[in-house]
Structure 1
Amino acid sequence: MSSHSDLATQIVKFGAQTNGRDKLFRLLQYGSKLISWYLQTDQGKLDFLEKLKKLETSMSMTRKLLRFGKSLDFILAALKTIHLSDPVLKLTITMSKLAQSVFLIFDHIIFAHNLGIIKADKEKWSRYSSQCWLFSLILNLLRNSYDILSIISNEAKAQENRQRRGQYVNGGIEHSVTSRKPMGRVQILKKCCYENQPVVLDFVKNMSDLVLPLNSLGKIKVSGGIQGSLGLLSSAIGIATVWSPILKLVP
């Protein structure tokens, strides 16, 4: 009974968060895109396909509404990360948050245009929005790569130090045979991935999302199926990090 109560509490907590609802609606949006692509050649599903496209559009508009004003949150977050001691993290995280803020400002303009509040060149602002999103994702991936390389390097050094300590007898220069074999590169990589899941999940999420603005800008051409699949994957990771904050990469 207690487990059911805890689950219900967690669901309520998740639903109360704007970020949680945004990730859930994003999952529905890209899920609709994937199913639409899969059924596009089925003439008997035309009515259902039309409903899916309407659902995808509705989820996109709802997410724009939920994100309204969030650009200020990213600016405030950037003002905090600018004080990070690590220069690489300070640059990549701060610039990424500023790029996300500008991305959302352009997104607000598109949202206001869709509602008929203002008249704007939707194609132009969509292009600017995608460029800012792409820039933010590239910075995120640079940060992820830096984190992963640092983690692997530190683990390799730790393994080397443990091996060296095991080889010396009472601080002397004579060597003894150790019972534990040194870990190989693949083993070290697996260990680092298992012990640093937030970094790995964030890397996968950013890599999945990278295809979406590249496709919007015409840099690559991928099918709706690939867009839907990658959008689903990154959305699922986003939901997991909201559901379990321990999986969220910080700062």
Structure 2
Amino acid sequence: MEFWVRFNGQSQAKERLIRAAQYTCTLLGYAVQKGGAGTELHQTIRQLEAHMSLTRKLLRLGNSVEALEAAKRAIHLSDSVLRLCLTISHLNRAMYFACDNILWAGKTSLIPKLDQHKWSQRSFRYYLFALILNLTRDVYELRLLMECESRYRATKASSSPSSSVSPSDDPSSAAVAPSIASAWLQKQLHLLVTVLYNNPPLLLDLLKNTCDIFIPLDRLGIYSTGPGVVGACGLASSVLSILTMIHPWLKLKP
């Protein structure tokens, strides 16, 4: 298992670069089609995209082992929510990679007469569930950080003298209820921006998972966005993944 983990660590950067190129082709193919270019150019781009997808599947052989190792590490986390989300997410990623490996074997004729559509749909379902759990983890961590920041601000405010009167003590407080709600919403938004600004790893992970989730949603027909959005989201998430590999401190832990 350790051999596969080391091997995947070396090939992961190549897979991300090819992924970025693949979704660039998806986006380019959409632009070419919308621009009314010849079908021959569009077909060439589609073939290039298919070749890159097949190469990525080859580079992901054995990634199930790494996902299982990550699940074994996550099951020992002290936080119950993180433990549940990360463990199940890694297990779903392991199943996603396993289905993807079978799909690769079918595309290369190692497994003849494989129902590629069925295995592709199965693969994307595992991928979608893993992304939902990752987003749940991101929102949970964001909520914890916002609560900490809110408590810090409350402590800081209570230490400074204030002579303001509570709106609830004012007989006309009902008239200013919309203003109070607006002020509260503005305060929460400012709190959210502050927390994300001070935690780049969480911000990048949230953006990456948000971009990625449109891909399986489109492929499964749950929320069709079209190749343009899929290509743009795939390219954006690939660039963010490459960024976390260049600067490891930007990767969200655990």
Q: Which TM-score band applies after superposition, normalised by the shorter structure?
A: 0.7 to 0.9
Letter of the 1:136 partner, please give it.
Answer: A
Residue 227 of structure 1: aligned partner: 230
Q: Which residue in the other structure is 2:170 paired with? A: none
Deviation digits for residues 91-125 of structure 1, max 9, x if unmatched?
A: 00010000000000000000001111112211111
TM-score by length of 2: 0.84
The yes-or-no answer on 1:154 pairing with 2:148 is yes
Partner of 1:128: 122
* Stretch deviating more after TM superposition (86-95 or 208-217): 208-217
Whole-Å separation in 2 of the counterparts to 1:89 and 1:199: 14
Aligned partner of 1:138 in structure 2 is 132
- Measure, in 1, the Cα distance between the counterparts of 2:247 and 2:226: 32
Could you tell me how far apart the structure 2 residues matched to 1:190 and 1:142 are?
Answer: 19
**1:175-194, CA deviations, whole angstroms, 9 ceiling, x for partnerless residues?**
689xxxxx933332222111
Unaligned 5+ runs, structure 1: 1-15, 168-174, 178-182
Pair 166,20 (structure 1): closer, same or farther in 2 beyond 3 Å: same
Q: 1:19–1:242: 8 Å Cα contact kept in structure 2? A: no
User: Are 2:27 and 1:34 equivalent residues in the alignment?
Assistant: yes
- What TM-score, normalized to structure 1? 0.84
Is 1:113 aligned with 2:116? no
TM-fit CA distance, 1:44: 4.3
Cα distance in 1, alignment partners of residues 33 and 74 from structure 2: 45
Once the two structures are TM-superposed, the CA of residue 48 in structure 1 deviates from its matched residue by 2.7
**CA deviation digits over 1:30-77, x for unaligned, max 9?**
110011011114454433322211221111011101110110001011
The separation in 2 between residues aligned to 1:152 and 1:118, in whole angstroms, is 50
Amino acid at match of 2:87: T
Cα deviation digits, residues 200-233 of structure 1 (max 9, x gap): 1111111111111111111122211111111111
> What pairs with 1:1-251 in structure 2 (closer than 5 Å)?
17-119=10-112, 120-167=114-161, 184-251=187-254
Aligned residue for 1:84, secondary structure, equals: coil
Aligned to 2:173: none
| Cα distance in 1 for residues equivalent to 2:70 and 2:76 | 11
SS at match of 1:166: coil
Number of aligned residue pairs: 224
- Contact 1:26/1:235, CA 8 A, preserved across alignment: yes
Report the residue type matching 1:48 in the other structure. L
CA distance in 1, matches of 2:94, 2:41: 36
Letter of the 2:225 partner, please give it: V
Q: 2-side partners of 1:217 and 1:191: how far apart?
A: 36
Q: Tell me, in whole angstroms, the C-alpha distance in 1 between the residues paired with 2:147 and 2:34.
A: 50
Q: Which runs of 5+ in 2 are unaligned?
A: 1-8, 165-185
C-alpha separation in 2, matches of 1:231 and 1:214:
12
